[in-house]
Amino acid sequence: MPVMAADGYVYERCEIQDWIGRNNSSPVTSVPFLHQRLTAHPASLEKLRELQAAFTPAGFEEFQEAREEYKKECKLRRSSQYQ
């Protein structure tokens, strides 16, 4: 389960709990944690689920279609900016 630590970074809960048990500083910044509370980060979990779905054959095809649609929208936006 992704969680946010006091340093503002998102970690896997069990990994950061192990880290905090051995250290009192951020594994990213080395700055001491102000507290040891871990906050659930559901947006990261949702993004992970989306990525997992993208790596199934059907999910990958869906991802490719969405990507192509996004590219078309970007191209349209760019072309309308210069008119």
User: 34-61 pLDDT, tens per residue?
Assistant: 999 999 988 887 888 888 777 777 777 7
State the sign of the Cα–Cα–Cα–Cα dihedral 32, 34, 38, 44.
negative
Name the β-bridge partners of 12: 2
Helix (H, G, I), strand (E, B) or coil at 55: coil
Annotated domain spans of the chain: 2-40, 42-81
Nearest to 31 by CA among 2, 4, 6: 6
pTM reported for the whole predicted model: 0.57
* Gap between the Cα atoms of 5 and 37, Å rounded: 7
Within 10 angstroms of residue 27's Cβ, the number of other Cβ atoms is 14
Can you give the pLDDT at residue 65?
85
**pLDDT over 80 at 14, yes or no:** yes
Can you give the pLDDT at residue 81?
60
Work out the pLDDT band at 6, boundaries 50, 70, 90. very high
